[in-house]
């Protein structure tokens, strides 16, 4: 049987100079388009944290896909960590820098009970700006970060170092 690692890596495409010159973009859309690969991601990103989280924190947009798949597999709900300006009630906001550009994430205050353990999932860990902002939001909201789990870690961009030793970080693949 093909391992999750082999299945997912066989479906990741590398595109030079996207979205700007000098960036090699790792495209996971073929992974999302494959039922077995998406299912394997949902399983393999949550298994290392089994019994240690209450809710899956999905980061818009690609993190939502993995969070939804993981939710269907393990039964935990999804905290939607959204790009700024989308959530209608009172929010907490964190600005962050991307490999290309800047952005902001928001969560609804009081969305989860105090102390809820949130496993943050996303497709790619690059500079760590995105999941770092998500983790700060979880803590500011009064919840706990159970861990950070991603499909692909781009090791050259220093995301793991930027996150420090404060969080347990799991990546299925490292490029
Ligand atoms: C991408 C990717 C991660 C983030 C990784 O999302 O899905 O969330 O960048 O980069 P970082 O570690 O340097 O923060 P993007 O902001 O392009 O949004 P999308 O999911 O809406 O496409
Ligand atoms: N691929 C997908 N998402 C990303 C990348 C990448 O190479 N870099 C930062 N976010």
- How many whole angstroms separate alpha carbon 127 and alpha carbon 157? 5
163 compared with 100, residue with greater pLDDT: 163
pLDDT at 32 over 90: yes
pLDDT tens for residues 112-149?
A: 999 999 999 999 999 999 999 999 999 999 999 999 99
CATH number of 4-174: 3.40.50.2020
Q: How far is the CA of 130 from the centre of ligand 1 (A)?
A: 6
Q: Is-cis flag, bond preceding 61, omega within 30?
A: yes
With b for 16 or more beta-carbon neighbours within 10 A and e for fewer, the 81-96 pattern comes to bbeeeebeeebbebeb
- What was the pLDDT predicted at 99? 67
pLDDT at 157 over 70: yes
Question: Which residues line the pocket of ligand 1, CB cutoff 6 A?
Answer: 59-62, 98-99, 103, 122-130, 159
pLDDT tens for residues 47-71?
A: 999 999 999 999 999 999 999 999 9
């Amino acid at each position: 049987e093909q391992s999750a690692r082999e299945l997912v890596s066989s479906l990741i495409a590398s595109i030079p100079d996207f979205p700007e010159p000098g960036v090699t973009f790792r495209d996971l859309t073929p992974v999302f388009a494959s039922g077995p690969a998406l299912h394997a991601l949902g399983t393999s990103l949550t298994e290392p944290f089994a019994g240690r989280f209450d809710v899956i924190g999905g980061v818009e947009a690609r993190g939502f896909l993995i969070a939804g798949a993981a939710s269907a597999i393990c039964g935990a709900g999804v905290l939607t960590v959204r790009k700024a300006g989308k959530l209608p009630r009172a929010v907490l906001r964190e600005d962050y820098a991307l490999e290309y550009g800047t952005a902001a994430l928001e969560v609804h205050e009081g969305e989860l009970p105090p102390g809820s353990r949130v496993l943050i999932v996303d497709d790619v860990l690059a500079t760590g700006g995105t999941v770092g902002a998500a983790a700060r939001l979880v803590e500011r909201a009064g919840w706990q970060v159970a861990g950070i789990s991603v499909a692909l870690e781009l090791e050259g961009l220093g995301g793991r170092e930027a996150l420090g030793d404060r969080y347990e970080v799991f990546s299925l693949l490292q490029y």
